[in-house]
Amino acid sequence: MRPSELKPFEERSLAGDANIICCICGTKTSWNRAVKEGWIADLDGEPYNSYYCLGCPGKIKSAAIKGDTIHITHIKRSYTIYTGKRHHNVIAKMVESGCSREEIARSEQGFINYRGEFLDRKQALEIAVFYGQVNMANKQGNQTELFSEDLY
């Protein structure tokens, strides 16, 4: 998901005081309160179907790989970020889109959160532990980095 697909509620229009539910944690609130608290609507799917309370957008959403190609526009630098459930799925998407083996090898593996921010494996592990997405007592292998297998 690109950050542009996440919009604060005030940019959407839904009249009244309808109840909405955070699609991650299940917190229920009114529309008006959600606007005041800064909840986020995911515009990637059907209108009005994915809402996130203030705390949940930081949670890990999926595996991601930050492509090697750098796009420079005026002052901003951006990278192509490919996403999928697990990193091998992401690599397959990169191959399908024409990335070379060398480009894939130079790319950085990590994760994205529900805000659309790219996190490296170490940052992602800290976030996943904080939100209870990973239990360190049950984590196999590397204890300093997150792997997609740790989430599922």
**pLDDT tens over the chain, length 152 residues:** 333 444 444 444 444 556 777 777 777 877 777 777 767 666 555 545 567 676 676 788 899 999 866 556 666 667 789 999 999 999 999 999 999 999 899 899 999 987 788 999 999 999 898 888 888 888 888 889 999 999 87
Residues 44 and 69 in one domain: no
Q: Distance between the two ends of the chain, CA-based, in angstroms?
A: 19
Residues 49 and 73 in one domain: no
Greatest alpha-carbon pair distance for the chain in Å reads: 54
Nearest-angstrom CA–CA distance, 146 and 28: 30
pLDDT of residue 141: 82
144-26-23-67 Cα dihedral, nearest 10 degrees: -10
Tally of domains within the chain:
2
Q: Which of 32, 56, 80 is the last residue of a domain?
A: 56
Residues 95 and 113 in one domain: yes
pLDDT of residue 71: 56
Residues 130 and 80 in one domain: yes
Nearest-angstrom CA–CA distance, 141 and 45: 35
Residue 116 Rama label (left phi>0; alpha psi -120 to 50; beta): left
Residues 73 and 42 in one domain: no
Residues 8 and 39 in one domain: yes
pLDDT of residue 68: 67
Domain containing 134 equals: 60-151
Q: Which of 56, 79, 100 is the last residue of a domain?
A: 56
